[in-house]
Chains A and B, each alone.
Chain A
Amino acid sequence: MIRSTPQVPVTHSVSKLMLHVGYALIPGTAAYVWFFGIGVLVQIALACVTALVTESLVLGLRKRPLAPSLRDGSALVTAVLLALAIPSIAPWWVIVFGTAFAIVFGKQLYGGLGYNPFNPAMLGYVMLLISFPLEMTTWPAIQNGLDAITAATPFDALKTQLGQGVNIPTAIANPEIGQLFGMLAGAGWEVVSLGFLLGGLYLLVTGRIAWQIPVAMLVTLTVLSTVFNLIDPTRYADPLLHLFGGATMLGAFFIATDPVSAATTPRGRLFYGAGIAVFTFVIRSWGGYPEGLAFAVLLMNMAAPTIDHYTRPLAFGERGDKH
């Protein structure tokens, strides 16, 4: 048999990549468990089982071999990300329904891994948020005794207060609201965010994700939130809250970097990351939802092919092209 592929040991693989994404999620997830209880682990387990079962069923219907697709780990990563995105105290059927939707409508109906234009986890999340707003906005309280089971997230609390005409400094001065904010940007949440940042940096340093998306996203979000916070600190939350208070870190390193649905050119990824930051900031600051990351990701997913088209790098020798 004539082969013409390089005789070089194979080192990279999709399943290895997904495995390392899994490792990188450990610090953030551990912090999540530490502050908010083991609910999130139950969600993750439910999501994983649902993802594998759903993926198998659809592959069976599509008459495709099961093993390669199940082994690549992409369904599991989708499941874990969705489980981390929804409130850990949501009823079991929420995650089951959301994961099944993400796998079937977000991924398999487009042809499976590599063909989905949207981030499946975010598609599942947005579907759940629109369909079950109550379950999707009831967050666990930090476990510091037994006084509360649920609490608002910092962004949620701010949105409510601002909606009632209370400005940010006054709201935070109120001990009931203020206790949600912790040292940096939300008691407990800030540590979870730092955990995801740590895992994200691991992926970045080991070259498993492209640096352009998280860097562009975090820089843009910092610049935007700093500028607006300087203009009117009573109406716009400070940059630390934007960076560590919500889903920013999970989003920047684990969700926006999903290569299938992101822009693929180096320059395009800068625009893509920046675009997510802009939409996130706009929705958080002026939109109807306290957290805008999922919408921002889906909006930029739609823009990705166009971004790629206009950001193709010049080929070697193209500058003097005599074509």
Chain B
Amino acid sequence: MMQTIRNIFHFHGGLQLDEHKSISTSKPIQDAPIPSMLVLPLLQHIGQPARPIVNVGDKVLKGQVIAEADGRVSAPVHASSSGTVIAIEPRDVPHASGLKGVCIVIETDGHDNAIATNGLTDFTTVSPDDIRARILESGIVGLGGAGFPSFIKLDPGKFAVETLILNAAECEPYITCDDMLMRERAEDVINGARIMQYALHAKHCIIGIEDNKIDAHAALQQALAGSDDIELVRVPSRYPAGGEKQMIYTLTGKQVPSHTRPLELGIICHNVGTAAAVFRAIMQGEPLVSRTVTLTGSAIPQPRNIQVRIGTPITELLSLCHANEDDIDRIMIGGPMMGFDLPSSDAPVTKTCNCVLATHKRDRIAPQASMPCIRCGECANVCPANLLPQQLYWHARAQEFDHIQDYHLFDCIECGCCDVVCPSHIPLVQFFRFAKTTIWQQERDKEKSDKARVRHEFRLERLEREKQEKRERHNRKKAALKKDSEKGDDPKKAAILAAMKRVQDKKSTAQPKPKNMDNLTAEQQELIKQADKRRADNQTAEKTETDKSS
């Protein structure tokens, strides 16, 4: 085991939040029963939605691909239990926008019949490319919440990967799914990390775990069993320690530059849950059909972690935990800081859904009226991106989108620390999201209008060119005609003359062929010869006469 003490770097700002984690870690992970219906959104990741390859009425098996990856940044969707496809239509999905998304709805048959799986016994017998292909086929995306297709983040491309970081911070209050996963399936995590390291050719692998996860840390240490290929590092429990850039800084002291990916620094960051899913996909051949979800909050009588089939409606989980939906004030997906409200409890668990946080009506936090910003700077003190939220807010409010980018709006990670400390109760992150989406929209519009302008200019140019060419052709013809007439040998006249000459030649050469000339006797031939001679003499005489007379 690597016992060297790694130098830890402290990022600016952040918050010490009440954890509320122990309420959901007292019981082991429970397997949720097969729901009567599975709702599988086509878009559960960042990128292009998957393309359905089943039709309504089709029978499907657990683990069968029902929608395949469409484009490079995409991931397939698998049936998470056996049954019949009953609909492919827009349904409520857990998404911050609150909009509906197209889902494949499966009525389960309860048999949970699965397709045959082919796992590997030794992953080093296949190439990294093969590993990535298997991970793509398994539909694995980042399970920490972002949902970026994992096979892409396991492809170093032209870069040499120095460090693979496994993010086990889980810094948001309430969420404990990674914690429980590490406690119960530490070996999956460790071995998944080894597969990832192999796929990336990464020199080092570090697991960064918040120092409040004592049991998980111990479990990982035990799973490592003395081997030193993976370094286990405790990081201070401070929100947002699990932010990718914050985690990288804490462990390496390197700041990922604005507008670049960690890969460019030779660093790749994956979530521990993703590592466990990679292990199952590669070694057991099992696609991503279930995940660990934390069910917690004051409206849940028995908070705990549940292994849930992807597509299970959240309402079924609530009843599984004996929650009374009438008591619930708010259901959030994700943590209390960066989570978003669920449009309806019919929405399903997706690949990125790590936590269902249901708060009781008695714990309702009344919306606070916003007061003017007094520029106290508390927000800047807690900003982990070291921004000046008070200035960003000022420009966002005034819709000064050029200025706001001078203040590095796009480095805001929307962690919500500024929202929590603002004495004027200004929903700062909402303003920043608004500014970001407006700027993106403006850029898209500009791109569109640029394209349209280029197209229009091209058309004008083409029309002009065609006109020019026509004119030139015309002029050339005219000039050629003029030249010919000047020279005196008009091609038309010449052509006529040539034709007349051809006719003449034909006339003079083409003698009518005498008929019945075959099989003649010598006598007959002699007669013909004589006749020919006579005719020739006559012709000569005629000719001389005409020559004389003319």
Bound Cα distance A217, B257 (Å): 35
- Do A4 and B336 touch (CB < 8 A)? no
Contact string against A for B residues 162-196, beta-carbon threshold 8 Å, 1 for contact and 0 otherwise: 00000000000100000000000000000000000
Please determine whether A316 and B374 come into contact, CB atoms closer than 8 angstroms: no
A145 on interface, CB distance cutoff 8 Å: no
- Chain B residues with CB under 8 Å of A320's CB are 255, 257, 260
Contact in complex: B259, A323 (CB < 8 Å):
yes
Contact B391 A308 (CB under 8 A): yes
Per-residue 0/1 for A298-323: is the Cβ within 8 Å of any B Cβ (1 yes, 0 no)? Answer: 00000000001000111111111111
Contact A16 B423 (CB under 8 A): yes
Show 16 A/B contacts (Cβ-Cβ < 8 Å), sorted by A: A1-B341, A5-B367, A5-B429, A9-B365, A12-B421, A74-B374, A114-B371, A114-B372, A114-B373, A115-B372, A210-B377, A312-B391, A312-B407, A316-B411, A317-B255, A317-B260
Bound-state CA distance A260–B377 (Å) is 10
- A17-B423, A320-B255 given as contacts; is B373 within 8 A of A4 (CB)? no
Other A-B contacts than A112-B372, A316-B255, A319-B255, 11 sampled, CB-CB below 8 A, are A5-B429, A7-B357, A13-B424, A14-B374, A17-B423, A113-B374, A259-B376, A265-B388, A269-B377, A316-B245, A320-B260
Q: Provide the bound-state CA to CA distance between A264 and B249, in Å.
A: 26
Q: Is the CB of B258 within 8 A of A114?
A: no
Q: Select B390's contact among A2, A8, A264, beta carbons within 8 Å.
A: A264
User: How far is it, in angstroms, between the C-alpha of A2 and the C-alpha of B95 when the chains are bound?
Assistant: 11
A318 to B425, alpha carbons, bound, how many Å? 28
Residues of B within 8 A of A318 (CB): 257-258, 408, 411
Residue among B258, B376, B422 having the largest count of chain A Cβ atoms under 10 Å = B376
Are B411 and A7 interface neighbours, CB within 8 A?
A: no
CB distance from A213 to the nearest CB of B (A): 10
| Pair B423/A13 contact, Cβ less than 8 Å | yes
Contacts of A16 in B (CB 8 A): 423
Interface string of B384-401 (1 = CB under 8 A from A): 111110110000000000
Question: B257 near A266 (CB under 8 angstroms)?
Answer: no
The answer to whether B371 and A72 have CB atoms under 8 Å apart is yes
Interface residue A175 (Cβ < 8 Å from any Cβ of B):
no
Q: Is the CB of B257 within 8 A of A315?
A: no
Interface residue? A231 (CB, 8 A): no
Q: Mask for B19-36, Cβ within 8 A of A = 1, else 0?
A: 000000000000000000
Chain A residue numbers with a CB within 8 Å of B388 are: 264-265, 312-313
Interface string of A264-286 (1 = CB under 8 A from B): 11100100000000000000000
B419 near A6: Cβ-Cβ < 8 Å: yes
How far, in angstroms, from A9 to B96 measured CA to CA in the complex? 21
A10 contacts B by Cβ under 8 Å: yes
Name B's A-contacting residues (CB within 8 A): 11-12, 17, 96, 98, 173, 245, 249, 255-260, 330, 332, 336-341, 343, 357, 359, 365, 367-369, 371-378, 380-381, 384-388, 390-391, 407-408, 411, 416, 419-425, 427, 429-430, 433
A6 and B421 within 8 A (CB): no
Closest to A212 in B: B377
Most central of A5, A6, A322 by chain B CB within 10 Å: A6
What distance in Å separates the Cβ of A110 from its nearest Cβ neighbour in chain B? 11
Is A3 among interface residues, defined by CB-CB distance under 8 A? Answer: yes
Pick from B332, B375, B422: contact of A12, CB under 8 Å = B422
B258 touches A321 (CB 8 A): yes
**Which interface residue of B249, B256, B388, B419 has the most chain A CB atoms within 10 A?**
B388
Task: For A266, give its contact among B96, B373, B377 (CB under 8 Å).
Answer: B377
Cα distance A1–B369 in the bound complex, in angstroms: 16
A68 near B: Cβ within 8 Å? Answer: yes
The reply to whether B374 and A12 form a contact with Cβ atoms under 8 Å apart is no
Whether the Cβ atoms of B340 and A265 lie closer than 8 Å is no
- Evaluate contact between A6 and B386: CB separation under 8 angstroms: no
Contacts of A313 in B (CB 8 A): 380, 386, 388
Which 8 residue pairs across A and B have the least CB separation, nearest first? A114-B372, A320-B257, A7-B336, A315-B408, A12-B423, A259-B376, A316-B385, A6-B416
With beta carbons under 8 angstroms apart, the residue of A10, A72, A74, A262 that contacts B368 is A10
In the complex, what distance in Å separates the CA atom of A9 from the CA atom of B388?
23
List, in ascending order, chain A residues with CB within 8 A of B408's CB: 315, 318
Pairwise interchain contact A322-B259, C-beta atoms closer than 8 A: yes
A residues in contact with B422, CB < 8 Å: 12
Let me know if B430 and A4 touch, CB within 8 A: yes
B contact residues around A316 at 8 Å (CB): 11-12, 245, 249, 255, 384-387, 411
Asked if A8 and B336 sit within 8 Å, CB to CB, the answer is: yes
Most chain B C-beta atoms within 10 Å of own C-beta, residue among A1, A4, A321: A4
- A4-B96, A259-B375, A316-B385 are contacts. A10–B365 as well, Cβ < 8 Å? yes
Residues of B within 8 A of A17 (CB): 376, 423
Q: Is the CB of B423 within 8 A of A317?
A: no
- B residues less than 8 Å from A114 (CB atoms): 371-375, 424
> Judging by beta carbons under 8 Å apart, are A322 and B376 in contact?
no
- Which chain B positions have C-beta within 8 A of A210? 376-377
- Complex contacts, A259 vs chain B, CB 8 Å: 374-377
**Which residues of chain A come closer than 8 Å to B371, judged between CB atoms?**
13-14, 68, 72, 113-114
**Contact (Cβ within 8 A) A317 B357:** no
B residues near A314, Cβ cutoff 8 Å: 386
Query: With a CB–CB cut-off of 8 A, which chain A residues contact B340?
Result: 2, 4
B175 to chain A, nearest CB (A): 12
Question: Cα distance A127–B372 when bound, in Å?
Answer: 26
Taking each of A3, A266, A314, which has the highest tally of chain B beta carbons within 10 Å of its own beta carbon? A3
A8 touches B255 (CB 8 A): no
Assembly CA distance A289 to B319 (angstroms): 76
Contacts of A308 in B (CB 8 A): 391
In the complex, A313 Cα to B386 Cα: how many Å? 7
Q: Which of A6, A113, A265, A319 is within 8 Å of B372, CB to CB? A: A113
The answer to whether A4 and B385 touch (CB under 8 A), given A12-B422, A317-B258, A322-B257, is no
- Across-interface contacts of B425 in A (CB, < 8 A): 10, 13
Min CB–CB distance B21 → chain A (angstroms):
15
Pairwise interchain contact A315-B411, C-beta atoms closer than 8 A: yes
Q: Is the CB of A7 within 8 A of B332?
A: yes
One of A12, A113, A260, A265 near B380 (C-beta < 8 A):
A265
> How many angstroms from the CA of A72 to the CA of B425 in the assembled complex?
12
Separation in Å of the A319 CB from the closest CB of chain B? Answer: 6
B337 to chain A, nearest CB (A): 5
Bound form: Cα–Cα A262–B372 in Å: 16
Q: Which residues of A, 110-143, contact B by the 8 Å Cβ criterion?
A: 112-115
- Residue of A whose beta carbon sits closest to that of B428: A5
Known: A3-B341, A259-B374. A317 touches B365 (CB 8 A): no
Complex Cα gap A2–B331 (Å): 10
Q: Is B257 a contact partner of A5 (Cβ separation < 8 A)?
A: no
- Determine if A7 and B373 form an interchain contact, defined as CB atoms under 8 angstroms apart: no
Residues in A whose Cβ lies below 8 Å from that of B421: 12
User: Which residues of the partner chain A approach B427 to less than 8 Å between Cβ atoms?
Assistant: 4-5
Question: For the complex, what is the distance from the CA of A323 to the CA of B380, rounded to whole Å?
Answer: 22
Evaluate contact between A315 and B357: CB separation under 8 angstroms: no
Within 8 A of B (CB), among A1-59: 1-10, 12-14, 16-17
Instruction: Report how far A264 CA is from B391 CA in the complex, Å.
Output: 9
Q: In the complex, which of the residues B245, B330, B386 contacts A3, with contact meaning CB atoms closer than 8 Å? A: B330
B188 → A minimal CB distance (Å): 31
Residue of A7, A112, A259 with most partner-chain B CB within 10 A: A7
Q: Contacts A265-B388, A316-B12, A317-B258 given: A5-B419 contact, CB under 8 Å?
A: yes
**Contact A264 B359, beta carbon cutoff 8 Å:** no
Which chain A positions have C-beta within 8 A of B259?
321-323
Q: How far apart are the CA atoms of A214 and B41 in the complex, in Å?
A: 57
Distance of A323 Cα from B249 Cα, bound (Å):
20
Q: Which residues of B contact A317 (CB under 8 A)?
A: 245, 255-258, 260, 385, 411
**Which residues from A are CB-within-8-Å of B433?**
4
